[in-house]
Amino acid sequence: MTDPADIPTTDQPRRRRLGWVLTCFVLLLIAGATIVGGAAVMLHRAYSDPGPLRAETNLIIPPGASGRMIARALTEAGVSADERLVQVLMRLFAPEKPLRAGEYAFPAGISLREAIAKLQSGDVVVRRVTIAEGLTTREVLATLNLAEGLTGDLPDAAEIGEGTLLPETYHYSWGDSRADLLARMRAAMQTAVGRLWAARDEGLPIKTPQEAVVLASIIERETGVPEERARVASVFINRLNRGMRLQSDPTVVYGLETDGGPFTGRLLRRHLEIDHPFNTYTRDGLPPSPIANPGLESISAALKPAETKFFYFVADGTGGHAFARTLSEHNRNVANWRRIQRQAR
């Protein structure tokens, strides 16, 4: 007689098939998880590992650039090797902050994580433009027009005027407006003149801040030696106090400028006899406007001149000047300067 336990039932094959299906399903889940996990690891490494950029590179992201455009720009610059990968990584890892336009400096080997963080923070390149002391407004505008990365047009030099812009080094970013930078120069000059005017010496023959800037511009063009500025200022202050004409060559040169540009010839005696508003050999007092944009030291010298009894100065052949109290002493200094000039020919 057969034991009932040995008789196969219809449930056993079903249980075996179900077990096989479950096993396959578990294996598939494990395989899928392994694949997904591996892909996630690979994506994270692509995002965080050093990138292929070989040397520091500047890249400009224009305003309104789409994610695709930024991904293409990063790839063309060498920050990434795959444009589509950049788009995927930006969506996965950096969706919370927008990417900002501007000029960026990417160092060699920068990762995509670092590159995208830089674009999100707006860590743009800081550019500089230096306006030298003693430049005319026309020369300042030419400098701004040549400054790379600035945008927009500028007004004419006549509209701005001389002595209204403070010489200094100014910082800006790619895409900034020339007009905005010019406004900063104007504001800086107004602030500086106001501060120095408030601390001026008493009893000066200078009645307004504008007159101080006029005198400072002459000082600026007369000497490039910082230590001399206060002494040069004292000569002009002494002359103004005594009612003597300033007799400054740079004012004559400025008056000889034309619409075609500055006077570039050699200043001769006959030029000193041409009467015009800026000729301080033929006109009393200060000229009607500044002849350049003076720096802080020259403005300070005009308002706090040295206490001297000098009324004359002339070049001494060393880059500086010889100062004199009397005309006879000055004539000796002039003769010495002419001798130096002859020997140099």
pLDDT at 48: 79
Judge whether 215 and 233 are in contact, CB under 8 Å.
yes
Checking if the pLDDT of 20 tops 60, the result is no
List all residues 6 or more positions away from 239 whose beta carbon is below 8 Å from its beta carbon. 245, 246, 247, 311
Checking if the pLDDT of 72 tops 90, the result is yes
Q: Which residue carries 């969706």 as its tokens?
A: 95
Q: Rounded to whole angstroms, how far apart are CA atoms 298 and 167?
A: 11
Q: What are phi and psi of 324, to 5 degrees?
A: -140, 150
Pairing of strands 127-130, 102-106: unpaired
Tokens read off for 337 = 């300067």
pLDDT band at 210 (very low <50, low <70, confident <90, very high): very high
Tokens read off for 18 = 């179900």
Checking if the pLDDT of 73 tops 80, the result is yes
Q: Rounded to whole angstroms, how far apart are CA atoms 52 and 232?
A: 59
Checking if the pLDDT of 40 tops 70, the result is no
Among 3.30.450, 1.10.3470, 3.80.10, 3.30.1490, name the CATH number for the domain at 57-121. 3.30.1490
CB-count exposure of residue 207 (10 Å: 0-12, 13-18, 19+)? exposed
Other beta carbons within 10 angstroms of residue 266's beta carbon come to 6
**Three-state DSSP class for 321?**
strand
- In this prediction, residues 160-176 reach a mean pLDDT of 96
pLDDT at 92: 76
Average pLDDT, the chain: 87
- How close are the terminal C-alpha atoms of the chain, in Å? 140
Tokens read off for 279 = 């000729």
Judge whether 173 and 127 are in contact, CB under 8 Å.
yes
Checking if the pLDDT of 197 tops 70, the result is yes
Checking if the pLDDT of 166 tops 60, the result is yes
Q: Rounded to whole angstroms, how far apart are CA atoms 345 and 342?
A: 5
pLDDT at 184: 98
pLDDT at 264: 77
Checking if the pLDDT of 277 tops 60, the result is yes
Q: What are phi and psi of 286, to 5 degrees?
A: -80, 150
**Three-state DSSP class for 172?**
strand
* Residue of 20 and 203 predicted with greater confidence: 203
pLDDT at 245: 97
Q: Rounded to whole angstroms, how far apart are CA atoms 157 and 160?
A: 5
* Domain spans of the chain, in order of start: 57-121, 127-186, 202-344
Q: Which residues pair with 172 in a beta bridge?
A: 127
> Among candidates 204, 222, 188, 192, which has minimal Cα distance to 302?
204
pLDDT in tens, 113-151: 899 889 989 999 999 999 999 999 999 999 999 999 999
Q: Which residues pair with 61 in a beta bridge?
A: 102
> What's at 135, amino acid-wise?
L
Judge whether 274 and 289 are in contact, CB under 8 Å.
no
* Residue of 189 and 65 predicted with greater confidence: 189
Q: How many residues does the chain have?
A: 345
> Among candidates 109, 36, 37, which has minimal Cα distance to 79?
109
The gap from C-alpha 78 to its chain's centroid, in whole angstroms, comes to 28
pLDDT at 27: 42
